[in-house]
A and B are shown apart, each in its own frame.
Chain A
Amino acid sequence: MDIENIHKNSKLLIDGIPYNVVDAEFVKPGKGRAIYRLRLQNLRDYSTLDRTYHSGEKVDEASISAHEEQFLYQERDGFVFMNTETYEQRTLPDKMIGDKKYYLKDGTLVTMLMHDDEVLDVTPPTFIDMTIAESAVSSKTDTITGQGKTATTETGLTIEVPIFIKEGDSIKVDTRTGRYVERVNKK
């Protein structure tokens, strides 16, 4: 693939290792050859690598596939998922899940991004409903801002919610931003 087509979040294969393009800087003398300075993150050990390419150079794209898996439970070694087609289970380490743990409830369906048999990324659904576990009660002494207050969800996510949200309420959260979307009517 031509270096011209690489952008942030492209996945490259360099010396057999899959990398994510964290940052792509484009530098070019007006009439001259373009230079692409890439900051790459090793998708196995999360280390970073800086590489410079020039226009006309080719790079290998990492072959990536995606499928659905279901989050089952968390255990000492990490987070356990099940492939919804083959029922095969896998455990992913805490480091790989990171802050996404706040978007995993029992049974949550996630997208597994794979490089061959290797998990590269786990993406929770864009919107997820959660119950408020803890929330400051509105009173004059609380640190209530003009628009909202801080609450904690059942998964431990700290989130800014409107003042009218109470403990036990169900809310919709945008997992891309970690922001409150709306209150969900209880069944």
Chain B
Amino acid sequence: MAAGENERLNRLQPNLRKRAEVYRIARNFFEEQDFLEVETPVRVPAIAPELFIVPVPSEDWFLNTSPELHMKRLLAAGYPRLFQFCHCFRRGERGRLHNPEFTMLEWYRSGGDYRQVVNDTECIVSALAHRLHNSSHITYQGTNIDLTVPWPRITVHEAFLAGAGWDPVADPDPLRFDVDLVEKVIPRFAADRPTIIMDYPSPMASLARLKPGEPQVAERAEIFIGGLEIANAYSELIDRREQEARFINDIAEIEKVHGRKMKLPMKFLEAMDYLPECGGIALGVDRLVMLFCDAGSIDEVMPFTSDTA
């Protein structure tokens, strides 16, 4: 009903205004740091295979699940610092913190690793707090959160020993990992501070490189604020053969578990021959806006979700 929709959209107006400011402040940060804003295709012929990310087909292509492969092709061509606000699509992901179409802010730094892009996130979120709330603290869902940098860092190993009582690095078990992360580990994070978990078990490396001298973990980090998973950072894997072997393994697993056939993203793999050392991170813009709007649901920070589009 139009009247109901108008009422709903008008109620969202303060949040949508804040959302626009989040984009402006983030763009300002990237401009100061000499990043180039790019746009890569939303509809793509091949995506990175992920066991638990289901793509939306578009004819015989896909709507992208992440802009990662194309951004890395630009890095391989010599672009040193890139960022992008990008709509991504993941089938079936709908809940209080999910919409099947959502906005990712993704950026890459040549010559850097996961630590620099995590630092960038601290800078951006602090800048947002100061510009939007004139404070280093925000209140989210009744909890006062101190965003003063640096944020506490803990290894995945330590976080799981403390929260779930087992060591996912010594005994990798990706399925048990996901369940315990949600049920036991995240709920134990300090509510009043962000938490950065570092160094994922190597079977969960995805597109991150293994830690030099410590190959049982990958240089992958995740940032949580107010219980929300905000961003996922990698020291990017630049070894084409290792990446190809991981993809082949993932494609076989996807076919075995879900019966879905996927192709290797060959243009990306070819570009990897030229990919420099770099750090990259994907940040969920909708959830970041939720934090600054004190919104309990993603529905409060986007005008049209899959239920209202």
- A→B interface (CB under 8 Å): 4, 25-35, 52, 54-56
The residue of chain B having its C-beta at the shortest distance from the C-beta of A56 within the complex is B257
A35 close to B229 (CB less than 8 A): no
Contact A27 B93 (CB under 8 A): no
Q: How far is the CA of A54 from the CA of B52 in the complex (A)?
A: 11
**Which B residues from 270 to 309 make CB contacts under 8 A with A?**
282, 284
The distance from the CB of A31 to the nearest CB of chain B, in whole angstroms, is 6
- CB distance A31 to B204 under 8 Å? yes
In contact, A55 and B52 (Cβ under 8 angstroms):
yes
Q: A34-B52, A55-B52, A56-B257 are in contact. Are A29 and B181 (CB under 8 A)?
A: yes
The majority secondary structure among interface residues of chain A is loop
Pick the residue among A29, A31, A56 that contacts B182 (CB under 8 A).
Answer: A29
Closest to A25 in B: B95
With A and B bound together, what is the CA distance between A56 and B52 in angstroms?
Answer: 10
A sample of 18 inter-chain contacts (CB < 8 A) reads A4-B92, A26-B94, A26-B95, A26-B96, A27-B97, A27-B182, A28-B93, A28-B95, A28-B98, A29-B178, A30-B222, A31-B50, A31-B232, A32-B174, A32-B177, A33-B175, A34-B92, A55-B52
Q: Check A32 against B96 for contact (C-beta < 8 Å).
A: no
Q: Which residue of B lies closest to A24 (CB)?
A: B95
Bound-state Cα–Cα, A111 to B14, Å: 43
Residue contact B232 to A32, C-beta cutoff 8 Å = no
Q: How far is the CA of A28 from the CA of B51 in the complex (A)?
A: 13
If A25-B95, A25-B96, A56-B257 touch, whether A30 touches B178 (CB-CB below 8 Å) is no
Give the interface SS of chain B, mostly helix, strand, loop or mixed: mixed
Tally inter-chain residue pairs, CB-CB below 8 A. 54
Residue among A30, A33, A54, A56 with most chain B CB within 10 A? A30
Cα–Cα distance between A54 and B174 once the two chains are bound (Å): 13
**A129–B177 CA distance with the chains assembled, in angstroms:** 57
* A54:B95 contact, CB within 8 angstroms: no
The residues of A that contact B95 with a CB separation of less than 8 Å are 25-28
Task: Judge whether B77 is part of the interface by a CB distance below 8 angstroms.
Answer: no
Smallest CB separation, B92 vs chain A (Å) = 5
Mark interface residues in B122-138 (1 if CB within 8 Å of A CB, else 0): 00000000000000000
Cβ of A29: which chain B residues have Cβ within 8 Å of it?
A: 178, 181-182, 229
Q: Which B residues are in CB contact (< 8 Å) with A35? A: 178-179, 182-183
B64 beta carbon closer than 8 Å to chain A: no
Q: How far is the CA of A61 from the CA of B301 in the complex (A)?
A: 34
> Contact: B50 with A26, CB < 8 Å?
no
> Which B residues are in CB contact (< 8 Å) with A32?
52, 174, 177-178, 181-182
| Additional pairs, 19, CB under 8 Å, beyond known A34-B52, A35-B182 | A25-B96, A26-B93, A26-B94, A26-B95, A27-B95, A27-B97, A27-B182, A28-B182, A29-B181, A29-B229, A30-B232, A30-B284, A31-B52, A31-B232, A32-B52, A32-B177, A33-B52, A35-B178, A35-B179
Most buried by B among A4, A32, A54: A32
The reply to whether A34 and B93 form a contact with Cβ atoms under 8 Å apart is yes
Give the shortest distance, in Å, between A54 (CB) and chain B (any CB): 7
User: Do the beta carbons of B257 and A54 come within 8 Å of each other?
Assistant: no
**Closest Cβ neighbor of B178 among chain A residues:** A32
Closest Cβ of chain B to A183, distance in Å, is 20
B2-44 interface code vs A (CB 8 A; 1 in, 0 out) = 0000000000000000000000000000000000000000000
Report the Cα distance A30→B52, complex, angstroms: 9
Asked if B110 is an interface residue, CB under 8 A from chain A, the answer is no
Do A26 and B98 touch (CB < 8 A)? yes
Cβ–Cβ < 8 Å partners of B96 in chain A: 25-26
Write out the residue numbers on chain B whose beta carbons fall within 8 Å of the beta carbon of A28. 52, 93, 95, 98, 182
Output the least CB separation between A176 and chain B (Å). 12
Q: Contact at B175–A30, with CB atoms within 8 Å?
A: no
CA distance A25 to B96 in the complex (A): 7
Is B202 in the interface zone, CB < 8 Å from A?
no
A83–chain B nearest beta-carbon distance, Å: 35
Docked CA distance A27–B282 (Å): 19
Cα of A30 to Cα of B222 in the assembled complex, Å: 10
| Closest Cβ–Cβ distance, residue A110 to chain B (whole Å) | 25
- Asked if B178 and A33 make an inter-chain contact with CB atoms under 8 angstroms apart, the answer reads yes
Question: Which A residue's beta carbon lies closest to that of B95?
Answer: A26
Query: Which of A27, A31, A34 is within 8 Å of B206, CB to CB?
Result: A31
Is B266 part of the binding interface, using a Cβ–Cβ cutoff of 8 Å? Answer: no
Give Cα distance in the complex from A34 to B93, angstroms.
8
B:47-92 near A, CB below 8 Å: 50, 52-53, 92
